[in-house]
Amino acid sequence: MVSIGWQEMGDMSALKSRDDFVREVGRVYPDNSKAQTSTSAGMAYRFVREMKIGDSVVTYDPTERKYLVGTIRGDYRHDSKQSDGPNVRDVDWRGQVYRDSLSVSARNSLGAIATLFLLSPDVANEIERVATSSGPDLQPSSSGAEDTEEVQQVEDIYRDIQNKGAEFIKDRLIRLSWDEMQELVAGLLRAMGYKTRVSPPGSDRGKDIVASPDGFGFESPRIVVEVKHRPNNSMGAQEIRSFLGGRHREDKGLYVSSGGFTKEARYEADRATIPLMLMDLDDLVKTVLDYYERMDADSRRLIPLKRLYWPA
């Protein structure tokens, strides 16, 4: 057999349409997000209503790194004795395929995180071909060319995940309030080894944060920071000139803008009489990632991140 969980749903035989599943998942798991409800309902609906007798099914045995290939031979049923997966389909198992006997592209496509998903026709055909053309004792094999291909594909996937991760972090940063964004930048400077003074709400005369070795701004370098949290609103040359107008000769400047900067603003910064760095959202994400482990708990709480380990 194959089975799925969602045991709190009980017997799902009475649920007919996808909307029925969405409503029931929402009722049983009221704390789920809308996306979680939709995903769970979709998988349960597919298992109960879309899968048919005669369909092929594949499941993975991670202990031996092989896929078991079978044919569904029964309709959906609820088996309360199967506490971990009471929603069941009976299966005739007819073969097995070692993961390493599949092509690199097939292996990569089988790494989905969903409990239940539909294989592409190419991958399904490859699994069927390997399962029927070789005995169960087929041992994994690979060549130098395959190893090179796998390394390249893994690197491509990693770069894609990195890019998506950066965009998701930007999404979280955009949702911060102005006060939270200011506190995040201050936390980032502290992670770099500075002590910070954050201006209270109100008129700050062109500075939101002052960072320095002593925390008072007496010791050099004295970094004066302006934080503008206006997504979709680029800072222009006038804003840069206003910021520079109140600076001392010994100051260093940092201007953070979640909405980015115009070309004229960057030109104005390049010709400033004091060192001035413009930090847009991309720069902020990169710097947060560089110093995240050194940031204090309060700062990390503003933008909670998980560490991801990946094959080198």
| pLDDT at residue 205 tops 60 | no
pLDDT at 28: 95
**0.75 cut: is pTM over it?**
no
- Cβ-contact 57, 2 below 8 angstroms: yes
Domain residue ranges of the chain, discontinuous segments joined by +: 2-133, 178-302
| Structure confidence by residue, pLDDT tens digits, 144-189 | 565 677 677 778 888 888 888 999 999 999 999 999 999 999 999 9
Q: Which pLDDT score, from 0 to 100, does residue 137 have?
A: 47
Q: How confident is the model at residue 199 (pLDDT cuts 50, 70, 90)?
A: confident
Local confidence band at 24 (pLDDT 50, 70, 90 cut-offs): very high
* CB-count burial class (<10 Å; 0-12, 13-18, 19+) for 82: middle
pLDDT tens-digit profile of 63-94?
Answer: 888 999 999 999 999 998 887 789 999 999 99
Class of domain 178-302: alpha beta
Q: Is the preceding omega at residue 86 within 30 degrees of 0, hence cis?
A: no
Residues 6+ apart with CB under 8 A from 92: 70, 71, 73
Give, rounded to a whole angstrom, the gap between the first and last alpha carbons of the chain.
37
Is the distance from CB of 154 to CB of 311 less than 8 angstroms?
yes
Give per-residue pLDDT as tens, 284-308.
999 999 999 999 999 999 999 998 8
Q: For residue range 240-261, what is the model confidence (pLDDT) as tens digits?
A: 999 998 788 889 999 999 999 9
DSSP 65-114: TEEEEEEE-S--EE-TT-SS--EEE-EEEEEEEEGGGS-HHHHHHT---S
Query: HSE (CB half, 13 Å, CA atoms) of 238?
Result: 1
* Percentage, residues of the chain above pLDDT 90: 69
Cα–Cα distance for residue pair 152/157, rounded to 1 Å: 9
* Mean pLDDT value across the chain: 89
Identify which has the larger pLDDT, 223 or 100. 223
CB count in 10 Å sphere of residue 38: 16
- pLDDT (0 to 100) of residue 215: 83
Q: Are 157 and 150 in contact (CB under 8 A)?
A: no
Task: Please give the share of the chain, as a percent, with pLDDT higher than 70.
Answer: 92
pLDDT band at 111 (very low <50, low <70, confident <90, very high): confident
Burial code of 126-151, b = ≥16 C-beta within 10 A, e = fewer? bbbebbeeeeeebeeeeeeeeeeebe
pLDDT value of position 142: 54
Average pLDDT over residues 38-50: 95
